[in-house]
Each structure stands twice: as structure tokens, then as C-alpha cells.
Amino acid sequence: MNVTGILNGIKKHVALTNEEAQFLSASLNHTRLDQGEYIEVSGEISNSLIYVHSGCLMTYFTQTTGTDQVIQFSTAGWWTGDLSSLTSGEPSSYTTRALTSCELLLLPKIRMDELLQRYPVFEKYFRIIFQNSLITHQNRIIQAFTHTADERYQNFQQQYPQLEQFVPLKYIASYLGMTPEFLSKIRRNRTKGKS
């Protein structure tokens, strides 16, 4: 694994000098994860922003009832991590683990602060990243409130067609805000209607 992937991703949004690119590279910690392994655990303080070089991660929130609520799936080219814990320094309420084997790049908070302070171009980069993520989150809220379970699943399939191939159905159901049983029934009706 090298850093050209992440650099190209960043260069889609901002232009980097060699110095900036090198400082970023030096700030990143390379990590590998096997399927099922954890990179962040609820209750512990989050201290890195996570860039997914390859593979897929899942972030979820464990309720008091014991059931998990999936917050997001993170595939290659995306950032993830608990911004809340990262900024407040308080224990995270999220857990993040690998759905497939993963190659990750970690940007420790201290390193990130340095990076932002020294090279304002990264302020711009993360401003854009967060801005886009905000738009996505707004859409998801609207979706949750205005669409039926069936419609949400349909949109999910169109938006992330590749995910369904290796993500257990119960996690997709959780992400979409429904029970696995009900998602199963939706699929049954779908195939029934088509045949």
C-alpha cells in the first residue's frame, strides 16, 4: 500500500505542493485489518481520523437495549471516525470494525492539528469533505422520514450496489432503520413481483 491513492483523492478537491503532500504522507500511519477486527471501540477515546484505502468498514452505535444501530459503511476512498469524540476528547459511543479485510491510513488528531495549522490547504480540503458529508447526512434524514422501508431499500441498492454483495443483510437493515425480518420480507415481495 502506498499513498498515491489518498493523494489523488485529495487532489480532486485541492492542489497540493510536494511539501504539503510529503508532510501529509509522513503524518499517516499505515494499518491492516482482518475481517471482523476492530479499529475503534465504544467507550474508548477516539484519537485518529481514518482513511479507507481498500476494503469496507462499518460504524455502529450500541443501544442500551443491546441492539446495534449501524451509522455508516465506509468504503475505499472515504474518511471515517468519530468526530465527536475526536473534538471533545470524550469517550466514543461508536464502534468501528472491518466488514472485509482492510488497508487503512490513520491520521492521529495531533498530527491533524499540526497539518491544519501549518498548511491551510488542508483546512480547505476538510471543509469541502465535511460540507459534502453534511449534504449526504441531510439527505439521509429526509429519506428516513419521508420514505417507506421498501423505498429506502430500493434507494440503497441504487446508491451502493456493491455493498449488498458482502455486507450481511442484518447490518443493511439496521442502516436503513428496519428489522432484518422485515427487510427479508421486502426482498421476497420484490422477487415475487418480478417473476
Partner DNA sequence: CGCGACGTTGATTTGCCTCAACGATTGTGG
Partner DNA sequence: CCACAATCGTTGAGGCAAATCAACGTCGCG
Closer to a copy of itself by Cβ: residue 137 or 187: 137
- In the chain, the N- to C-terminal Cα span, in Å, equals 45
3-state SS, residue 53: strand
Beta strands at 68-75 and 38-40: parallel, antiparallel or unpaired: unpaired
User: Nearest to residue 60, comparing CAs of 182, 176, 175?
Assistant: 175
148 binds DNA (CB under 7 A): yes
Q: Which of residues 61-80 bind a copy of itself (CB under 8 A)?
A: 61, 63, 69, 71
Rg of the chain taking only CA atoms, in angstroms: 18
96 strand-pairing partners? 40, 59
Q: Which does 188 bind (CB under 5 to 8 A by kind): a copy of itself, DNA, none?
A: DNA
By CB under 8 A, name the one of 13, 32, 97, 124 that touches a copy of itself. Answer: 124
Interface with a copy of itself (CB under 8 A)? 61, 63, 69, 71, 83-84, 87, 116, 120, 123-124, 126-127, 130-135, 137-138, 140-142, 144-146, 177
